[in-house]
Structure 1
């Protein structure tokens, strides 16, 4: 699992994904004590993961009442149940994003966090329940990145290998339509990134057609750099943001 906490301007952002990616804490807090509490919480919850500390301490920032307590209490083991997950704290608004396996799990996570909030904070539960065939697709892709050559729509050999696996799983889910979504990092012009993400999604579609996936099942879209799942401040995060997603439409 990976986690990123952005605390600058009282905003925090927690993401979780692969078992192979270290836990990363990034952002700005008011005191060294605040920083250490966040570090200790993550290390306790994820003892088998390396924790990378990228937190700054700035004494001149102001935070809402109980902000530090809220930030530390929501970082616990239940986050591991959220796939491609993210918990954002923007001032006094907390929003949950990502995928869970059942409505019961979605509600349990919401209840756990909500029970620890004061009246000052609002909780927005935007978790998506993913079951059955979509979960099979997600697990087949895992945390692997469908790689392209830099700045182009040419797939690398590793990217082609991943798409071979995806073609296999798409054949197992019958004739259900699939949306292919392209994403980029934030390097360069946003307009150009949007265009590139669309073109890469189309390149994936064409390859899958060549692997005997019916063209009528496949649609594409691109989101450019608008929907990151990791920090764009380092190469590791940018690599994870340059991704392709597959969404099964019922």
Structure 2
């Protein structure tokens, strides 16, 4: 007890004792201050923060899904095929007049030419007359026989003067049809054969053209004449072959006629002119040296040089045709220089 006070009361003297304590120290003050802070921390730690976490959580986004651009180069299966190449053919024409067919233009090789002519003979019979003005140019593009056949099948006998010409990306149809249906059938066949080609239909509708007059009977002595004294036409092929025992020569690896061969061909032309109406086919050949890409054009050019010279000597141009067969049909072996020289030749056939 730190001290005492005495006071007098009614009842007498009493002694009242008061206790005196020391003031609180610094440690107590710090402890008192720490209590509210501790309670606050406990309360904050117990709060439910799930809502805030939900608000702060970002959605799981696949960046590749949102950043990937569409492939603009992917093909559109619904779009038309604009990359289909357009057809482009070398010039080629076939003109029909009854049983006569005039052929002109370019073919890639002798096999294509033989295929076309064999098809025409098979289609229109052995009596068909083919006028061959075709050139051989390796590498050119030409329509196949099946496509041409569809056109002639559609024309049939309803367009006896049917003709077509194909050049580049255009085919031109001409002739006189007995009806509009016949005209339209040929056009439809052309469009079916070549869907990407331009078709120019110049077929007229009208009366069928008059059939060509039958040929006059051959003169006595002409080929096919019954009986009579043999005339110059009967022995014409033999006379020409006898002259051609002397080979026709050209410049080395070229198709320019040698002067001596020009004199020889002048004699051949004189023989041919003795038989009016004689038709001549000139065919060139080479030996086996090289390949068809070289030999066929070379043989064709040599045959054409001979044909042109015959025409220059007075033979009708439409009675003389030429073609090149390359190294086909050798008449001697190609294993000796002598044999190769015999195979390098030009043949003239009289019809």
TM range (shorter): 0.3 to 0.5
Structure showing greater relative contact order (alpha-carbon pairs closer than 8 Å, 6 or more residues apart): 1
TM-score, normalised by the number of residues in structure 2: 0.33
